[in-house]
C-alpha cells in the first residue's frame, strides 16, 4: 500500500504528462510523442491510484482492469481509421455512464453514513469513501450533494447524447435532424423538472429524485443530439468530449481525487475550446450547439441547381495534370472510406517529382472528427509542410491550375456563400471553384453525408471522376509523366 504523499506526487506527474500531451497534439511533428505522454500519464494515474491508501477489493479490481484492457485493445485493433469518430463517441458514453453510477453510489454511501451516525454507539466499519464522508461538516455534505447532482445530470446527458452521435456516425441512426413534437420546449421542460428535482434532493428528498433526474437527463441527451443533423456531428462529438470531461471533474470533487479533477478539467476545457473554434469555422452559434439547435431553421427553399454533371475519365484527368504547374488536393471522408490516402501520397510524390507545386487544403471540419484528414495524411507519410489549413490556402485557388476534390462535399459547396437559404449558408468553405479546373473524385451522383446538393458539381470548370477513390487515383498513377 502506497502512502498518500507518494500517490499525490504521482498525480502531479501524471497531470504534467497530460498537459504535455495536449500541448504536443497541436503540432503534427510532435503528435506521436504527445500521444505517448498521454499513455504513460494514464498508466501512472491508474497504477498509483489503484495502490493508494484506502483502496481494496483487488480480487475484483484487477480482473476488471485486465478484462477492460483486453476488450479495449481488441476493439482498437479492429476499428478502421474511418470508424474512429464513432469509437470516440462510444468512449464518451462510457465516461458519462460511469459518472452517473459513481454519483449514485456516492449518495448511497452518504445516506448510509448518516444512518449509522444517527444510531448511538454504532461502530460499523466504513469504506474509504464513507470514512471521508463521515468527517465532513454539514455544509461540506451539501457541497457533496451538489457535486452528485451535477455529475448525474452531465453524465446522463453525455451518455445518451454520445450513443446517438455514435449511431449517426455509424449509419445506424438516421443522420437527419429529428425532434419529437414540441421540439426545444420538451428539452426546456425536462431541464426545469431536473432543477426542481435537484432542489427537492438538496432539501432531503429520497434517492428516487436522483433516479428521476438521471432519466430526465438521459432524455435531454437523446433529444438534443437527435435534433442535430449528421453533417454537424464533428462539432457534436467535440462538445460531448467536453461534457465527459466536466462529468469526470465533478466525480473528482465527489471522490476528493485531485487527478480526476485536473484531468476532467483539461478534457472539458479543451473540448469546449475546440468546439468553439469549429463553430467559428462553420459560422455557427456556440450556444446553439449546446442547446441542440445547431444550424437553426432554413429561411426558405434552397436554390435550384441548373446544368448537369460532366464526367471525365482517368486519361483526361492525367492529361490536365501533366500540363499543370500548381495542384491543390482537398481530401474528405470519402478518401478515408476508400482508404485512398496511400495512393494519394504516391500521386503527390510523382507530381512533385515532375516539378509541380502540390499542396493539400484541409477544412477544419473535414472528415467526421477534428484532425481526421491530418492523421490520415500523416499515416501516408505526406510531408507536413504541404498540408495547409483553409485560411492559409483559400486565397490561392484563383492562381491554382487544378483542384482535386477527393470525397468531400459540404466543405467545398459554393451554396454556403451563394444561397442564403442553404442549410450551410454562411459556413466558410474551401473555394475550389475559383481554380482553373476542378476534378471531383466521387462514387456517384448522390448527395453527401448532409444530404445537401452541391452546385460545384455542375459548374463549367468541374469534371466528375466517378468511382472508388483509391481505384481512381491508382488509375492516374500510370498516366502521370
Could you give the residue numbers annotated as active site?
Answer: 410
Closest CA to 81 of 382, 470, 374: 374
Q: Which residues contact 142 (CB under 8 A, 6 or more apart)?
A: 202
Question: Based on C-alpha coordinates, what's the Rg of the chain?
Answer: 26
d(CA 444, CA 423): 22
Q: Are 309 and 457 a contacting pair, CB within 8 Å?
A: yes
Degrees (nearest 5) of the Cα angle 291, 295, 300? 130
Q: Are 458 and 305 a contacting pair, CB within 8 Å?
A: yes
Torsion angle of the four alpha carbons 53, 55, 59, 62, in this order, in degrees rounded to the nearest 10? -90
Secondary structure letter of residue 389 according to DSSP = E
Q: Which residues contact 282 (CB under 8 A, 6 or more apart)?
A: 232, 235, 364, 365, 424, 427, 428
Q: Which residues contact 289 (CB under 8 A, 6 or more apart)?
A: 228, 232, 235, 236, 239, 275, 279
Closest CA to 252 of 244, 166, 321, 382: 244
Q: Are 331 and 406 a contacting pair, CB within 8 Å?
A: yes
328 SS3 class: strand
Q: Which residues contact 281 (CB under 8 A, 6 or more apart)?
A: 363, 364, 365, 390, 427, 428
The residue whose grid cell reads 432539501 is: 203
Closest CA to 379 of 170, 73, 42, 80: 80
Closest CA to 79 of 150, 169, 189, 15: 169
Amino acid at each position: 500500500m502506497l502512502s498518500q504523499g507518494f500517490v499525490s506526487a504521482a498525480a502531479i506527474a501524471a497531470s504534467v504528462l497530460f498537459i504535455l500531451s495536449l500541448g504536443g497534439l497541436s503540432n503534427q511533428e510532435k503528435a506521436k510523442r504527445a500521444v505517448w505522454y498521454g499513455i504513460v500519464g494514464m498508466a501512472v494515474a491508474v497504477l498509483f491510484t489503484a495502490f493508494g491508501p484506502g483502496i481494496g477489493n483487488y480480487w475484483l479490481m484487477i480482473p476488471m482492469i485486465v478484462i477492460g484492457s483486453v476488450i479495449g485493445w481488441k476493439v482498437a485493433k479492429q476499428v478502421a481509421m474511418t470508424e474512429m469518430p464513432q469509437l470516440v463517441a462510444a468512449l464518451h458514453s462510457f465516461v458519462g455512464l460511469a459518472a452517473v453510477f459513481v454519483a449514485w453510489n456516492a449518495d448511497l454511501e452518504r445516506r448510509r453514513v448518516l444512518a449509522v451516525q444517527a444510531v448511538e454507539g454504532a461502530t460499523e466499519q466504513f469504506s474509504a469513501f464513507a470514512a471521508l464522508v463521515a468527517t465532513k461538516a454539514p455544509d461540506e455534505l451539501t457541497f457533496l450533494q451538489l457535486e452528485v447532482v451535477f455529475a448525474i445530470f452531465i453524465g446522463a446527458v453525455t451518455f445518451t447524447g454520445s450513443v446517438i452521435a455514435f449511431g449517426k456516425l455509424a449509419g445506424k441512426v438516421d443522420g437527419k435532424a429529428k425532434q419529437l413534437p414540441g421540439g426545444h420546449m420538451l428539452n426546456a421542460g425536462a431541464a426545469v423538472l431536473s432543477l426542481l428535482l435537484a432542489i427537492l434532493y438538496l432539501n432531503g428528498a429520497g434517492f428516487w429524485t436522483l433516479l428521476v433526474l438521471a432519466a430526465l437527463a438521459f432524455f435531454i441527451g437523446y433529444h438534443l443530439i437527435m435534433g442535430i443533423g449528421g453533417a454537424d456531428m464533428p462539432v457534436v462529438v467535440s462538445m460531448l468530449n467536453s461534457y465527459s470531461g466536466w462529468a469526470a471533474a465533478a466525480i473528482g470533487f465527489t471522490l476528493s481525487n485531485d487527478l480526476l479533477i485536473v484531468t476532467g478539467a483539461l478534457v472539458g476545457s479543451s473540448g469546449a475550446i475546440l468546439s468553439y473554434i469549429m463553430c467559428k469555422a462553420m459560422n455557427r452559434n456556440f450556444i446553439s450547439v449546446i442547446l441542440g439547435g445547431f444550424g437553426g431553421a432554413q429561411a426558405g427553399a434552397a436554390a435550384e441547381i441548373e446544368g448537369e454533371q460532366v464526367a471525365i475519365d482517368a486519361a483526361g484527368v492525367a492529361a490536365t495534370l501533366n500540363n499543370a504547374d500548381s495542384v491543390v488536393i482537398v481530401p474528405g471522408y470519402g478518401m478515408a472510406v476508400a482508404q485512398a490516402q496511400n495512393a494519394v501520397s504516391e500521386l503527390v510524390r510523382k507530381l512533385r517529382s515532375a516539378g509541380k507545386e502540390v499542396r493539400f487544403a484541409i477544412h477544419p471540419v473535414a472528415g467526421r472528427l477534428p484532425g481526421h484528414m491530418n492523421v490520415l495524411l500523416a499515416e501516408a507519410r505526406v510531408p507536413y509542410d504541404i498540408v495547409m489549413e483553409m485560411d492559409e490556402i483559400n486565397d490561392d485557388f484563383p492562381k491554382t491550375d487544378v483542384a482535386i476534390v477527393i470525397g468531400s462535399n459540404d466543405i467545398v459547396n459554393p451554396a454556403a456563400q451563394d444561397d442564403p437559404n442553404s442549410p450551410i449558408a454562411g459556413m466558410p468553405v474551401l473555394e475550389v471553384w475559383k481554380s482553373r479546373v476542378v476534378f471531383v473524385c466521387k462514387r456517384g451522383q448522390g448527395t453527401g453525408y448532409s444530404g445537401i446538393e452541391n452546385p460545384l458539381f455542375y459548374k463549367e470548370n468541374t469534371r466528375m471522376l466517378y468511382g472508388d477513390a483509391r481505384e481512381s487515383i491508382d488509375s492516374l498513377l500510370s498516366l502521370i509523366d
